[in-house]
Structure 1
Amino acid sequence: MTAKLLPYSSLPAERIGRHAPARLPATIRLGTVHLTVADLARSLAFYESVLGFRVLARTGAAAGQSATAALGVAGSDEALVQLHEQPGARPVPARGRLGIYHLAVLLPTRADLGGFLRHARGRGLHVGSSDHKYSEATYITDPDGFTVEVYRDRSRAEWQVSEQGEVQSALDTLDVAGVLAAAGDAPWQGLPAGTTIGHLHFYTGSLPDAAAFYHSALGFDIETWSLSGALFVGAGGYHHHLGLNVWAAGSPVATEADARLLRWELWLPDAGSRDAAAARLQAAGYAVDPTPDGPIATDPWGIRVLLRAAAPGQA
């Protein structure tokens, strides 16, 4: 029997997802994603010319520190991605290593997605695509083998849930013609103002262990749990801020010799919610280390999250 599907808006918020024992605030957001790359100039050519990021700041290698570049978008001085050069870093293999699966750049509108898709195709690049029901997504691979998803969300009124409150996902064929048409004749001018890091997706070694860290301790709700080998977790009813899968289970964890995720940042609305999340992780037995920017917690596969607190009035 096919499960009955309902409009997302037909269920009250308290019935969406499987709630964490102590939930993250609905107003969390993802911050800077830090990646190591083998050749900074090569990566910048891709992240600027193909993806459309702007370089906000750049440092050279000195005193044992790697060369870096902070990347953002028009109208904001916040870095969405920071690249750290590590000459000789091994590229990500096709099946991946335990660690990052992809980072996902969220565009404000369907027209923006159409503009990006037309731009990337015009450069002769291979662009994957999919319709996830709640979003329309494209995928492209950077020079180190990292997958970057570029997507747009449908409005929540268009999402579907099961009677049990599970947000419905799919891997349907993208309406490429419709997405391209939405862009009209507007020229591509890079990533628009309002672009954010919408979600991250990780290769993990065990879904129960991933749920223990990200759901039970950190506090994300499980929004989708019926996918094969994956859980999608989020806050505030969002379809997912993090994807957690075991599709590369058995692969090695990314090491210091590899192009890899150094850390990602989770912004909480205040110091109290940040400290509470850190305390839950520490109480559950996970490593939590203090830094000047906030506590960093490490999951079972070496994925590090920096917990940050918004200044008053900036949440």
Structure 2
Amino acid sequence: MAYPVEIDRVALRVRDLPAMTAWYREALGLNVRSQDRSSVELGTADKTLLELRGDPALRPGDPRQAGLFHNAFLLPSRADLSRWLAFAAQSNLALQGAADHGVSDALYLADPEGNGIEIYADRPVSEWNRQGDTIEMYTHRLDLDKLLAESSGAWQGIPEGSIIGHVHLQVGDLGDAYDFMAGRLGLTQTYDARGGLWFGSGGYHHQLAGNVWNSRGAGRRPTDMPGLDEVVLRINDTARAQIGEGARLDDPWGTPFLLEDAA
């Protein structure tokens, strides 16, 4: 493991399992790793990154609820990000944004049921600006023409080595988010901005973040809505010593975090 705590995979509740499966295969190039009537596991050829759990009885989602802001798929290189951007342009995929964050270059979109997605590539760690535990992050314009010009070869689906680099959550209260992410999970706050906090493990810019931009004051998440169902964390011995025993922690808004010890 590169870090004491890493995102292993994420599960979403979805209303239309076949349509959502097809979208993730086509738009992100994820592979179906296993499936049954009610769920599908998707990822690279050798790793599950996302599980979709279908339930057509779910009522429509509410963007003001706590839950997922976005899942962030970390590609191995900026060249991979460039190839995906070229594919997205050719496929008429609608982007919701693009940003130079100082530590990474990021592209944003949403799936058909409104789950936020970030596709990103990290900058070299040597280029990150650190001041103690704080890592400078910002949102500047990303030069898409320059990124496209770096594209070499066609997008062939999500490349090996891609992971869920971080999960950004909608939360009801930043103090409660801090208590959970730093106090319970043992992460270090690496950055803050108006309405948001970022938390990293082992010097990474962030594995988890939370904001109240849409969800300030939200209570526990309804269980009959689509969206985030659980986050699975992979933790090493150092993190286990900090977190303590147990296979599950729920955040203050009812999202389960499953803890799996690294092999």
- Same topology, TM > 0.5: yes
The CA distance in 2 between the partners of 1:206 and 1:129, in whole Å, is 27
**Aligned with 1:47: secondary structure?**
helix
| Distance in structure 2 (CA, Å) of the matches to 1:165 and 1:297 | 25
Q: Deviations over 1:196-235 (max 9, x none)?
A: 000001111111111111102220001113x111110010
Count of equivalent residues? 260
Cα pair distance change 1:92/1:152, threshold 3 Å: farther
Instruction: Flag structure 1 segments of 5+ consecutive residues without an equivalent.
Output: 1-24, 61-66, 280-289
State the 1:122 CA deviation.
1.4
CA positional deviation for 1:140: 1.1
Q: Are residue 296 (structure 1) and residue 263 (structure 2) matched? A: no
Identity of aligned residues (%): 35
Check whether the contact 2:172–2:219 (CA below 8 A) recurs between aligned residues: no
Deviating above 6 A after TM superposition, structure 1's stretches of 4 or more consecutive aligned residues are: none
Q: Does structure 1 conserve the Cα–Cα contact (< 8 Å) formed by 2:220 and 2:252?
A: no
User: What is the match of residue 223 of structure 1?
Assistant: 190
Residue segments in structure 2 that go unaligned for 5+ positions in a row = none
Q: Does 1:307 align with 2:259?
A: yes
Distance 1:157 1:275, change over 3 A: closer
SS at match of 1:209: helix
Alignment of 1:147-296 (within 5 A): 147-162=116-131, 164-184=132-152, 186-225=153-192, 227-247=193-213, 248-251=215-218, 253-270=220-237, 273-274=239-240, 276-279=242-245, 295-296=247-248
Root-mean-square deviation (Å)? 1.8
SS of 1:219's equivalent? coil
Residues 254 and 217 (structure 1 numbering): CA distance in 2 closer, same or farther, change over 3 Å?
closer
Task: After TM superposition, give the deviation of residue 273 of structure 1 in Å.
Answer: 4.3
Which of 109, 115, 139 is the equivalent residue of 2:77? 109
The structural deviation recorded for 1:181 is 1.6
Q: Which whole-Å CA distance do the structure 2 matches of 1:126 and 1:151 have between them?
A: 16
User: Does the 8 Å contact 1:235/1:241 carry over to 2?
Assistant: yes
Cα distance in 2 between the residues matched to 1:148 and 1:165 = 27
Distance 2:57 2:142 in 1: 37
Q: Secondary structure at the match of 1:308?
A: strand
Q: Would you say the 8 A contact 2:133–2:188 is kept in 1? A: no
Equivalent runs, 1:11-160 vs 2, <5 Å: 26-60=3-37, 67-74=38-45, 76=46, 78-93=47-62, 95-127=63-95, 128-160=97-129
> Amino acid of the residue matched to residue 267 of structure 1?
R
For 1:150 and 1:91, the matched residues in 2 are separated by 25
Structure 1 residue 96: Cα displacement: 3.9
Paired residue type of 1:236: G
Higher radius of gyration, 1 or 2? 1
Contact 1:31-1:80 at 8 Å conserved across structures: yes
Shift of 1:251: 4.1
Bigger share in strand? 2
Three-state SS of the structure 1 residue aligned to 2:161 is: coil
Q: Which residue identity is paired with 1:59?
A: D
1:119 counterpart letter in structure 2? F
Task: Give yes or no for contact 2:107–2:120 (8 Å, CA) kept in 1.
Answer: yes
